[in-house]
Amino acid sequence: MDLLELIARADERALATSGIACLDRCLPPPGSGDDPEPLRALRTGCGSGTDWAGRLDAVYAALEGAAERDATTARVRMLLGAAPRDFGAVPLRTWADACSLLALDIHREFDVPAGGGVRTSGDCRAGGPPDRGPLVMGELRRQIHILESLAEPGDTAGGGAGLRRALDLSAEGRRVLRAVMSRHARGRAAPTA
C-alpha cells in the first residue's frame, strides 16, 4: 500500500501518532534552555486521546518562543494550532495528511541536491517514481512503516508494539534530520574567502 492509502485506512490513534511523529521529526535541534522533546506530552496521549485538546494547547503555547526564532518550528507550531480538537478519525485524517506533506517538504528542503529536484513532495506519496533525494525517500519509507506498524493486528489502542515501533522509527528520523540541519547551519555560518 502506498502512503495515501495507509492514511485513508488509519484509525484515529494511528493518525494522531503519525501526525505528531511527522511534526516531531521536523523540529530543529533545541536551543539553549529549550525542551529537547516538546511534543512528548502530546505523544503520550495518542494511544487513547486522553486530554487531546488540552495537550495540543499546552504544546502550542510551549513552542511560541522557539517559533519566533526559527521558521521550521513556526511551521510545525502552525500545524499544531490547526489540529482538530476532536480525537476522531475523520477530523484527524486531513490533519495527519498535512503533517505528512510538511515533513516531506522539510526533508526535501534539506535534501541533496538542495530541494531534491522537485517542486513538491506530495506526488511521491501515491507510489510515484522513486526519483527523490535520500532524505525524502527515507522520510517516505518511515511514514509508511509507522502507519503499517500501527495497523498491525493485535496492536491494541493505548499502546502495544506498534506504538513503540512508531516511536523508535520517529526518533531515528529525528536524529537523521537534526544532524543534516546542524551541518546545514554550520555551512551557512562558515566564513567565506
pLDDT of residue 84: 96
Asked whether residue 192 is domain-assigned, the answer is: no
Instruction: Answer yes or no: is pLDDT of 10 > 50.
Output: yes
For 119-163, how does the pLDDT look when each residue is reduced to its tens digit (9 = 90+)?
A: 455 567 877 656 678 999 999 999 999 999 998 765 555 457 888
Burial zone of 33 (CB within 10 Å; 0-12 exposed, 13-18 middle, 19+ buried):
exposed
At residue 71, what are phi and psi to the nearest 5 degrees?
-65, -35
Residue 191 maps to a domain: no
Q: Other CB atoms closer than 10 Å to residue 182's CB: what's the count?
A: 12
Domain of 181, in residue numbers: 3-186
Report the chain's mean pLDDT, rounded to a whole number.
86
pLDDT tens-digit readout, 72-82: 999 999 999 99
What does the block give as the cell for 173?
528520523
Q: Give the count of domains, the chain.
A: 1
Q: Is 193 inside any structural domain?
A: no
Cell (9 digits) for 163? 506504538
For CA atoms 111, 67, 3, 156, give the dihedral sign.
Answer: positive
Q: Quote the pTM value.
A: 0.88
Note whether residue 168 is domain-resident. yes
